[in-house]
Each structure stands twice: as structure tokens, then as C-alpha cells.
Copies of this chain bind each other. A is one copy, B any other.
Amino acid sequence: MRIAVLGTGTVGKTIASKLVELGHEVTIGSRSPDNAALLEWVGETGARASGGTFADAAAAGELVFNCTAGGASLEALAAAGAENLAGKTLIDVANPLDFSQGMPPTLSVCNDDSLGERIQAAFPKARVVKALNTVNTAVMVAPDSVPGDHNLFVCGNDAAAKSEASALLESFGWPRDALIDLGDISAARGPEMYLPLWLRLMGSLGTAQFNIEVRRD
């Protein structure tokens, strides 16, 4: 399918490359579509890869990944255009990390709100699904790079959008039973507020190549 990936950082390029590898036609969207990182990625990735503005990408995609930095996501999505997001599944991978006070980062929104909810509120016709924000980029597209069973969380208001997102995640290598549906988009507070624990775990373990498995009775 035709997929837009908004954001030219490591997350955006990694997901976009995986999608191209899986046979999708991918347009990466950027604030500055002539930026070197984007041109290089398009050149390396081949015929199914293209680049453009946020609006170009969102218009081209039947489904949209938000891989912009959390602090810039609402602005990037506004540039993408509500009309280009309407009716589409919008997989929000971003974390609202605020590095302005130094390390470790705090969250710019949390507790009684979340980035996922803010995006859904700002673009009510988009079908927002929060997913993938709880693992490092390499793990997102290669879950078997972490041994054993481990889980990923999805949430959103639209069941069909969650199904579509889940099917894509399965194609990335996530077993269907590894995906835990947390409910509506307000549940995004959970996986977003997990980030402070994730960051401390990264420090203690000395690696970002980890994830959690939910064990139950």
C-alpha cells in the first residue's frame, strides 16, 4: 500500500526502509524536503521510496506514520494538513520527550493527557493508533532481535484502525498475540508514561535492545 512516514530521523528512516522492504510505496515527509538525510535515503532505497513535504507525504499515503519528535508532532501534522489525514489510520510512534531541562528528559505532556490524545483531538477525522513508542527503533522493525516473547501495546478509538495497524505490526515480525490492546486513545498515557522507566532500564542494562513481556496468572 501507499504509506506516508512523517519524520526523517532514525525512527522515520528505519520504519520507512522496513515498509519499502515489505513492498510498500513509501513517501517520507519532511519540513524541508530537500534535506540531505532525506535525499540520501531516497537515493539509497530505490524506486518505491520518495520524499516530499509533510503535506506531499500525507496526501500520497493511504496510511500515515508519525515518526516526528514528540515536541514537534502537532506542528508537523498541521503542516501535513488535516484534510490529508482525514479517514486515514495514523500510527503515532512519537514520545513527548522534553530535553530542555537536561537528562533524563521529562515528558512535555502526561498524567491527565498524552500526545496520542492531543493528536486525536487536533485531528478528529484521523484514526489515531498509538503503537511502537515503547521500544527502541531497531526493536520496532526486528522484534526477534530481543530474545524470547515480549509485548507491544496498541490503543486508539477506532477498532478498524487498530486492526490495520496490528496487521502492519505483524508484518514487521510482531506475533499477533504479542500485541496488547489497551483500549481507547486515552490509554496512550500508559505507554507514554512508561518512558521514564524505559530510560532508567536502558541505563541499568547498558543497552536499548530490550523490551518487556507481560506475565500473567
Spell out A's residues near B (CB within 8 Å).
101, 106-107, 110-112, 145-150, 153, 155, 180-183, 187, 189-191, 193-201, 203-205, 207, 209-217
> For chain A, what secondary structure do more than half of its interface residues adopt (helix, strand, loop), or is it mixed?
mixed
Across the interface, which residues of B come within 8 angstroms of A214, CB to CB?
201, 205, 210-212
12 contacts between A and B (CB under 8 A): A106-B111, A110-B111, A146-B216, A148-B215, A180-B201, A181-B204, A189-B196, A189-B200, A194-B194, A201-B214, A207-B217, A210-B215
Other-chain contact of A204, B183, B189, B199 (Cβ < 8 Å): B183
Interface pair A212/B209, CB less than 8 Å apart: no
Interface pair B180/A190, CB less than 8 Å apart: no
The answer to whether A147 and B217 touch (CB under 8 A), given A190-B196, A199-B190, A204-B181, is yes
Across the interface, which residues of B come within 8 angstroms of A197, CB to CB?
153, 182, 190-191, 193-194
CB of A141 to closest CB in B, whole Å: 15
CA distance A149 to B148 in the complex (A): 12
CB of A179 to closest CB in B, whole Å: 11
Across the interface, which residues of B come within 8 angstroms of A149, CB to CB?
215
CB of A14 to closest CB in B, whole Å: 16
CB of A170 to closest CB in B, whole Å: 18
CB of A157 to closest CB in B, whole Å: 14
